[in-house]
Amino acid sequence: MSDRTAGAPVRLDPRGPRFAALLTTLVLLLVLATGSGVLLACQAVVFALGAVLGLRSSPYGWLFRRLVRPRLGPPQDLEDERPPRFAQAVGLGFAVIGAAGYLSGATWLGIAASAAALAAAFLNAAFGYCLGCEVYLLAIRGRARLSQG
């Protein structure tokens, strides 16, 4: 669920990205178990949709809105969509690198990139800690400091 006020960033139910992280964790575990560059490329498409078009445009966002959200109570509050979108972009980078590794025969690269993405997805799914979101916030703070001095 998201909310938009004119000129304000999109706000969303924070449980949606955590649900997406759970599905991503499962997909990445399957990628590591099978070594499937094609499956990782499919996950890259999911990341790309979330990063470029917004989390509501991601298949995992759609599943959350249609199947999970109606069974939950209303969220305590909504959060800014920008940090999770940035996290999707970071995931996209790792998925593209990993898929290229698997598909080109550089299996070690596929494994390393998939494992890194899996670690971040698992942190979010299990503990609600979005590593990409934290990197986004650090970058925003760093940019603000640079513009001040």
Residue 52 lies in a domain: yes
Q: Return the pLDDT at 9.
A: 85
Residue 70 lies in a domain: yes
Residue 142: Cβ-neighbour burial (10 angstroms; 0-12, 13-18, 19+): exposed
Stretch 9-36: mean pLDDT, rounded? Answer: 97
Domain range for 61: 12-148
Q: What percent of the chain has a predicted confidence (pLDDT) above 70?
A: 95
Q: Could you report the per-residue pLDDT of 67-88, keeping only the tens digit for each?
A: 999 999 999 999 999 999 999 9
- Higher pLDDT, residue 130 or 3: 130
Residue 119 lies in a domain: yes
Residue 54 lies in a domain: yes
- CA–CA separation, 115 vs 118, rounded Å? 5
Residue 117 lies in a domain: yes
pLDDT at 53 over 60: yes
DSSP state for residue 42 in the 8-state scheme: H
Stretch 48-52: mean pLDDT, rounded? Answer: 97
pLDDT at 22 over 80: yes
Mean pLDDT of the chain: 94
Stretch 5-34: mean pLDDT, rounded? Answer: 93
Residue 125 lies in a domain: yes
Residue 83 lies in a domain: yes
Number of domains forming the structure of the chain: 1
Q: Return the pLDDT at 74.
A: 93
